[in-house]
Chain A
Amino acid sequence: MQTEIVGKPVPRKEGRSKVTGTARYVDDLTMPGMLYGATVRSPTARGRIRSVTFGEGIPWDEFVVVTAQDIPGENAVALILLDQPYLASEVVNHAEEPILLLAHEDKHLLERARRAVSIDIEPLPAVFTLADSLAQKEIIWGEDNIFKSYLVDKGNVDDVWAQADVIVEGEYSTGAQEQLYIETNGIVAVANADEGVTVWGSMQCPYYVHKALLKLFALPPERVRVVQCETGGGFGGKEEYPSMIGGHAALLSWKAGGRPVKIIYDRAEDMVATTKRHPSLTRHRTAVTRDGRLLAMEIEFIVDGGAYATLSAVVLSRGTIHAAGPYHCPNIRIRSRAVATNVPPHGAFRGFGAPQSIFALERQMDKVAAAVGLSPAEFRRRNFIREGETTATGQVIREPVDMAGLLARAFELTDYEAKRERFARENAAGAGGVRRGIGFASFMHGAGFTGSGEDYLKSIVGAEADAEGRVRILAASTEIGQGTNTIFAQIASAALKLDYDLIDMAQPDTSNVPDSGPTVASRTCMIVGSLVESAALGLRQTLQGAGLLTDEYTVDEWRAACRRYLERYGTLKSFSQYKPPPGVRWDDEKYEGDAYGAFAWAVYVAEVTIDPLTYETRVDDFVAVQEVGKVVHPILAAGQIEGGVAQAIGFTLYENVVWRDGRMVNNGMTNYVMPTSADLPPIRVHFEEQPYQYGPAGGAKGIGELPLDGGAPAILNAIEHATGIAFTHVPLMPEALMRGLGETG
């Protein structure tokens, strides 16, 4: 019996298969008679398709060719809106938009054929920037280029400006960020009219793909099956995109009469055509008293959604709700918009809008602090939200929250105050030499779907036991590296007081597992984990109800009870469905109320050195202090934070998407640079645990997205400390630093 499984670093469930290379990813699958599929894409950002020409020297009669005319159902990727086609037929709205699909058994010939198709497009004026879209230079989507807008209005900011002691304005922006999971998108499909559609692939959300395929093929749910293979990283990049590539592979197989078709993107295609983090622009206007109390925050937050709506509305929502951060302010107005541009749609990426709006906020907070003559730390201490106070949406914080305590802990771990003073002195003395700085950011991240989202999803998890007493968890929540398999098994193990090794995870397969919702939004542990816990407990209650098990039991008694139950009734299964915690209210019209079941709270500190010759910024030390509820698995949890911080450091200093005419031109790992092991500082992770009363395993909250939020502002605050320059854009490349430092001498 393992009684203290929660909090124990048990071996990752699929660890052995991963370190030995036996884990099966989609590109490791082959099937008899399998064809390879390729996508012919638009060379132009916006225009009308005039003609498609199949070049000479290719045996075209050997190829399977699919166009929009071959689609059995609706030519739209079903997600939120139905505006994005699987295959463009008359107009294209972004470079690299799919137009035509090809399949052949020889992938080298296939690649030659792909290049031999030429698409003639009559260009139309395109919009490539958020500013041009807002200015409605061209109307490229709907009536006004706006996918979605929100207004959060707390108190009345208009009454404040006239009598405020100090008003500070600021404008901040962030660039796109490439996902760069090391496994590119890939799918194998088998589809025909007799057997329906089955896809196997790399994905986060099997039921999203399922929903999309139903629409594409006009089939009933039982005729479509989606199976997740081992998935080599997701980060949001495999939230919505697998619906696209999954549909493409299935269309090719359908046209080929059911021969299996595999589509694996190479790195260049994955980078140029799939989703990235939304670029953003944020404007702040902040009113404070002379002694540094926040009076009003007026925030305008805009994200560039690319050519189609995809998930921009929800990315915008999370960014909006997080835009005012972990502070108490009586008057807050946040206006936000997601706008259309003629670039490939931007999509979900870890943090989902919050890293963008929190970057702006935490730069602004340093600016306001300076304006009232307070240190960044003291200014924040005077405004940190406390239990019983309300967030921007009017959510009353009902859990104990101690931001000042997290700040103190982070400062102690970094010797912040002494370094802040020493670096300032040394920078002033050593003109022209290296400059050093230290800065921080304080922030929070909500776990689970926003507002009424979880209520709408109504996720379900199952648990079943066999005659040996082994328990299998049935969930569509995917293991994408973050540790779903392991923490779910820990949660079930703790609930049933059974050995961790007795718990198995079913492969996410829509023909076999219920819809536990998408693997996104830091919801897997907190929301789905609770369902795992209650489904597992349901097994025990069933056995007890049948009189086969007492309150206290040994493993052998458990096994015997399962065996007897199965002899008597045939199957032993239990399902649990999401119910909101008591007292939760959310108003979708006013965008007001309890936005999230729980927040994780954090303070991150970065220490930097700037090279005076190369203008490179090196992060020398990074400390991440956070309160995330009960930590289920200390190594996996720390791994989430470290990996997220590394991505945040990339977002801040390394990862620069270069656009030309709406197309990413540095779409290779050689010239889009992510941090290597030689680039990163020690990332020191510290957890505070304040159990969340409705969380599983004694009170766990969400954790996955949090670490993306704090890195960029902490680093730019440190760079301002080092240089005296208030940079406002990430990524901050050495060229920008050189220009900035050149201007100030």
Chain B
Amino acid sequence: MTEGTSRIDVACTVNGTARRLRVPAMARLLDVLREDLGLTGTKEGCGEGECGACSVFIDGELVNSCLVPVLQVERAEIKTIEGVSAGDAELHVVQQAFIECGGAQCGICTPGMVLAAISLLEHTPQPTDADIRHGLAGNLCRCTGYMKIFDAVVRACARAGVKA
């Protein structure tokens, strides 16, 4: 897509499927996911790494995909919101908790926020209130005031089997 930029081959795994991509080297991972792979669950909120709407996992670490040039994901394992629970499969405990607790309003930050919550619970299985507040501070939500998101994290945490 990027005009005037040479394309490179990138081999990576996306949501468990091996992919070979022919893409402009400096294309943003966000655009490759959304446009080349059709994984539109990853959202763009700001394009400068502030809002976290484009959060994805690269090799298990949560990153802002708007700041990642695709050439950096060679041989990496990427997981997006589509890889958390596919199709009609049972929802992840965090997703279920977001529905029950009102953690999603307009929903545009939600995929990133769900991944951030999963990441938080992987690193800190029994988070304190402060852990939750600071753990999610890289993901902005304009609708909820975050309270219902905190409730969702607490509820997810209370249930067994938190695993990304």
Binds B, one of A102-110, A162-170, A586-594: A102-110
> Contact at B41–A20, with CB atoms within 8 Å?
yes
> Contact at A233–B44, with CB atoms within 8 Å?
no
Q: Which residue of B lies closest to A106 (CB)?
A: B3
Chain B residues with Cβ below 8 Å from A678 are: 133-134, 137
> Contact at A108–B99, with CB atoms within 8 Å?
no
Q: Does B61 sit at the interface, judged by CB under 8 A?
A: no
Q: Does A155 sit at the interface, judged by CB under 8 A?
A: no
Given A21-B82, A182-B51, A481-B106: A642 touches B144 (CB 8 Å cut-off): yes
**Which of A9, A19, A676 is B104 in contact with, Cβ under 8 Å?**
A19
Flag B42-70 by CB within 8 Å of A: 1 or 0 each: 11111110110100000000000000000
> Contact at A635–B91, with CB atoms within 8 Å?
no
Chain B residues with Cβ below 8 Å from A668 are: 46, 48, 50
> Contact at A233–B143, with CB atoms within 8 Å?
yes
Q: Distance in Å from the Cβ of B23 to the closest Cβ of chain A? A: 13
> Contact at B142–A233, with CB atoms within 8 Å?
yes
| Segment 169-227 of A: residues with Cβ below 8 Å from B | 180-184
Q: Distance in Å from the Cβ of A269 to the closest Cβ of chain B? A: 11
Q: Distance in Å from the Cβ of B44 to the closest Cβ of chain A? A: 7
**Which of B47, B48, B102, B149 is A636 in contact with, Cβ under 8 Å?**
B102
> Contact at B99–A12, with CB atoms within 8 Å?
yes
Chain B residues with Cβ below 8 Å from A642 are: 144-148
The total of chain B residues at the interface (CB under 8 A) is 58
Chain A residues with Cβ below 8 Å from B132 are: 677
Given A638-B102, A639-B102, A668-B46: A683 touches B80 (CB 8 Å cut-off): no
Q: Does B110 sit at the interface, judged by CB under 8 A?
A: yes
Chain A interface: which size bin?
35 or more
> Contact at A21–B42, with CB atoms within 8 Å?
yes
Chain B residues with Cβ below 8 Å from A481 are: 105-107, 143
Chain A residues with Cβ below 8 Å from B134 are: 677-678
**Which of B4, B111, B143 is A643 in contact with, Cβ under 8 Å?**
B143
> Contact at A266–B100, with CB atoms within 8 Å?
no
Flag B19-55 by CB within 8 Å of A: 1 or 0 each: 0000000000000001000001111111110110100
SS class of chain A's interface: helix, strand, loop or mixed?
loop
> Contact at A670–B102, with CB atoms within 8 Å?
no
Q: Does A53 sit at the interface, judged by CB under 8 A?
A: no
How far, in angstroms, from A669 to B95 measured CA to CA in the complex? 27
Q: Distance in Å from the Cβ of B2 to the closest Cβ of chain A? A: 5
How far, in angstroms, from A213 to B106 measured CA to CA in the complex? 26
Q: Which residue of B lies closest to A481 (CB)?
A: B106
Given A267-B47, A669-B48, A670-B50: A23 touches B146 (CB 8 Å cut-off): no
Q: Distance in Å from the Cβ of A36 to the closest Cβ of chain B? A: 10
Flag A677-701 by CB within 8 Å of B: 1 or 0 each: 1111011000000000000000000
> Contact at A9–B102, with CB atoms within 8 Å?
yes
**Which of B40, B107, B133 is A677 in contact with, Cβ under 8 Å?**
B133
> Contact at B45–A183, with CB atoms within 8 Å?
yes
Chain B residues with Cβ below 8 Å from A182 are: 43, 45, 51, 53, 106, 108-109, 140-142
Q: Does B85 sit at the interface, judged by CB under 8 A?
A: yes
> Contact at B145–A645, with CB atoms within 8 Å?
yes
How far, in angstroms, from A112 to B3 measured CA to CA in the complex? 10
Q: Does B114 sit at the interface, judged by CB under 8 A?
A: yes
Q: Distance in Å from the Cβ of A722 to the closest Cβ of chain B? A: 23
Q: Which residue of B lies closest to A234 (CB)?
A: B106
Q: Which residue of A lies closest to B116 (CB)?
A: A677
> Contact at B41–A22, with CB atoms within 8 Å?
yes
Q: Does B1 sit at the interface, judged by CB under 8 A?
A: yes
Q: Does A366 sit at the interface, judged by CB under 8 A?
A: no
Q: Which residue of B lies closest to A637 (CB)?
A: B102
> Contact at B95–A20, with CB atoms within 8 Å?
yes
> Contact at B107–A14, with CB atoms within 8 Å?
yes
> Contact at B108–A183, with CB atoms within 8 Å?
yes
Q: Does A298 sit at the interface, judged by CB under 8 A?
A: no
Q: Distance in Å from the Cβ of A482 to the closest Cβ of chain B? A: 7
Flag A13-56 by CB within 8 Å of B: 1 or 0 each: 01111111111110110000000000000000000000000000
Q: Which of B42, B101, B107 has the most CB of A within 10 A?
A: B107
> Contact at A21–B140, with CB atoms within 8 Å?
no
**Which of A232, A635, A677 is B106 in contact with, Cβ under 8 Å?**
A232
Chain A residues with Cβ below 8 Å from B107 are: 14, 17-19, 23, 230, 232, 481
Chain B residues with Cβ below 8 Å from A670 are: 48, 50
Name the 9 nearest CB pairs between A and B, nearest first. A21-B41, A481-B106, A232-B108, A18-B107, A646-B145, A21-B81, A481-B105, A642-B145, A669-B50
Further 13 A-B residue pairs, CB within 8 A, beyond A181-B108, A642-B147: A19-B98, A20-B85, A21-B40, A21-B80, A182-B141, A183-B106, A232-B106, A481-B106, A639-B148, A677-B139, A677-B149, A679-B137, A680-B147
Interchain residue pairs with CB less than 8 A apart (8)? A18-B107, A25-B40, A106-B3, A108-B4, A180-B142, A181-B106, A233-B106, A678-B137
Chain B residues in the interface with A (C-beta under 8 A): 1-4, 34, 40-48, 50-51, 53, 80-82, 84-85, 91, 95-96, 98-111, 114, 132-134, 136-150
Chain A residues in the interface with B (C-beta under 8 A): 9, 11-12, 14-25, 27-28, 106-109, 112, 180-184, 230-235, 266-267, 480-483, 635-636, 638-639, 642-647, 668-670, 674, 676-680, 682-683
